[in-house]
């Protein structure tokens, strides 16, 4: 039995479809089963959430593998980012140890560090440490910005495209390497016990990113071309964007469409950007994302280029992929944590 948290999210839904298609018994820890769509009749449902640690005991009964995807990028009425991303993960890990879970798969984020200025990054780093210090067999995925046609970030850009101009905070040169949610789901399936990389993924940390580096302005341009809409960009100075988003967050609370998070990188000098409403949306350093591209090769998953979307089942995805030309690949490095928690080994490959 597998326990899946975050089953209604950007990665959770495509992953859940793969798990049920493979005939694996799945139990989903959810607040609203209706958001599971058609998959809710094919899985067991455990009502609960990260703010309710008492729901973990029932959800973990008879479970041998935990897939922990649930996360939040902003404070919620049920708890802060630190409580829901760090403390809740620690509690789930402890409950999994008591329940006799054999494998714990955790979704962190690219750039997670206790020294990061972003609260989400610090919370994810603390959650990773809680898992590494446990007695469980673990696998950690740290993806870059994950996207799908229905994710909140793409949806927000579609709504903003209805305006006469599309606002962009700062210079719009913040670098991203977005990866498709379906590719991330393939990585998880490959790393599960019985998968192609099921054995070697135990005690491994995989950093994942897409095959192309795009600036924030280029991502917005891709979405506009996929919608066949032409809009000029309105460059909003960073101080104005910061004050505006903080005012929006103050007025709307958890319902705010975006919040301000400083995500600058001293190495690539990317500008801070308003946080996309996705747990994995973070500005990426080119050197870090080069290692992350290698994470996909390590787990034997080839990231999908945007031009290959026509055979996919999502027509909106095909439009987004076809809207921008491909870029030549750069030098790529693969990084993988070994079984020993104290050791890390890396392999470098030039394509």
Decide: 211 and 321 in contact? Cβ < 8 Å.
Answer: no
3-state secondary structure 22-60: CCCCEEEEECCHHHHHHHHHCCEEEECCCCCCHHHHHHC
Q: Is the pLDDT of residue 17 over 90?
A: yes
Q: Are 191 and 337 in contact (CB under 8 A)?
A: no
pLDDT on residue 296: 57
Identify the CATH number of the domain in which residue 62 sits.
3.40.50.720
More confident residue, 184 or 298: 184
Looking up tokens 């493979």 gives 22
Q: Give one DSSP letter per residue of 49-105, joined into a string.
A: -TT-THHHHHHTTT-SEEEE----SS-BTTB-HIIIIIIHHHHHHHHHHHHT-SEEE
Residue 131 maps to a domain: yes
Q: What is the pLDDT of residue 258?
A: 63
Do the Cβ atoms of 195 and 300 come closer than 8 Å? Answer: no
pLDDT bucket at 181, cuts 50 / 70 / 90: very high
Is pLDDT larger for residue 151 or for residue 206?
Answer: 206
Question: Which has more confidence, 212 or 251?
Answer: 212
Are the beta carbons of 310 and 322 closer than 8 angstroms?
yes
* Least-confidence region, from 200-209, 216-225, 296-305: 296-305
pLDDT in tens, 27-67: 999 998 988 888 888 999 999 988 888 999 999 999 999 99
Calpha distance 124→52 (Å, rounded): 19
Q: Is the pLDDT of residue 290 over 80?
A: no
Residue 263: band (very low, low, confident or very high) from pLDDT cuts 50, 70, 90: very low
pLDDT more than 70, % of the chain: 72
Q: How many Å apart are CA 186 and CA 191, to the nearest integer? A: 9
Q: Which residues of 23-58 are buried (b: 16+ CB within 10 A; e: fewer)?
A: eeebbbbbeebeebeebbeebebbebbbbebebbee
Query: Residue 162 corresponds to which tokens in the numbers above?
Result: 């209805």
Name, in order, each residue with C-beta under 8 angstroms of 316's C-beta and a sequence gap of 6 or more: 149, 226
Specify the number of domains making up the chain. 1
* pLDDT above 80 (res 194): yes
In a domain, 12, yes or no: yes
Q: What is the 3-state secondary structure (H, E, C) of 158-183?
A: HHHCCCCCEEEECCCCCEECCEEHHH
Range of the domain at 30: 2-143+181-208
pLDDT at 254: 61
Residue 56 lies in a domain: yes
Residue 241 lies in a domain: no
Query: Per the domain annotation, does 99 fall within a domain?
Result: yes
pTM for the structure as a whole: 0.74
- With tokens 């390497």, the residue in question is 177
pLDDT at 255: 60
**Beta pairing class for 344-349 and 332-337:** antiparallel
- Check: CB of residue 280 under 8 Å from CB of residue 145: yes
Residue-wise pLDDT for 303-347, tens only, equals 665 543 332 322 333 333 333 434 333 323 333 343 333 333 333
Which of 79-88, 260-269, 320-329 has the least mean pLDDT?
A: 320-329
């Amino acid at each position: 039995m597998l326990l899946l948290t975050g089953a209604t999210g950007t990665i959770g839904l495509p992953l859940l479809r793969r798990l049920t298609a493979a005939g694996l018994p799945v139990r989903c820890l959810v607040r609203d089963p209706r958001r599971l769509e058609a998959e809710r009749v094919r899985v067991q449902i455990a009502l609960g959430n990260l703010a309710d640690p008492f729901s973990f005991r029932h959800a973990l009964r008879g479970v041998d593998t935990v897939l922990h995807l649930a996360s939040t990028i902003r404070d919620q009425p049920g708890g802060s980012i630190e409580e829901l991303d760090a403390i809740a993960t620690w509690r789930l890990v402890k409950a999994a140890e008591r329940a006799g879970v054999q494998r714990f798969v955790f979704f962190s984020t690219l750039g997670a560090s206790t020294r990061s200025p972003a609260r989400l990054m610090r919370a994810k780093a603390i959650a990773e440490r809680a898992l590494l210090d446990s007695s469980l067999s673990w696998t950690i995925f740290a993806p870059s910005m994950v996207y799908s046609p229905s994710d909140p970030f793409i949806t927000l850009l579609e709504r903003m495209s209805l305006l006469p101009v599309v606002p962009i905070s700062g210079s719009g040169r913040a670098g991203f390497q977005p990866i498709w949610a379906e590719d991330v789901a393939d990585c998880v399936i490959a790393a599960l016990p019985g998968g192609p990389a099921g054995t070697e993924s135990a005690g491994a940390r995989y950093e994942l990113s897409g095959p192309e580096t795009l600036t924030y302005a280029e991502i917005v341009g891709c979405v506009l071309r996929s919608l066949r809409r032409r809009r000029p960009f309105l460059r909003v100075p960073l101080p104005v964007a910061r004050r505006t988003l903080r005012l929006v967050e103050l007025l709307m609370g958890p319902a705010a469409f975006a919040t301000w998070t400083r995500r600058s990188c001293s190495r690539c000098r990317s500008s801070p950007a308003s946080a996309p409403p996705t747990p994995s949306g973070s500005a990426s350093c080119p050197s870090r994302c080069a290692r992350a591209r290698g994470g996909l090769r390590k787990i034997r998953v080839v990231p999908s280029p945007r031009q290959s979307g026509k055979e996919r089942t999502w027509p909106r995805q095909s439009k987004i992929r076809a809207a921008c030309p491909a870029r030549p690949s750069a030098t790529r490095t693969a990084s993988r944590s070994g079984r020993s928690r104290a050791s890390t080994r890396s392999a470098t490959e030039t394509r």
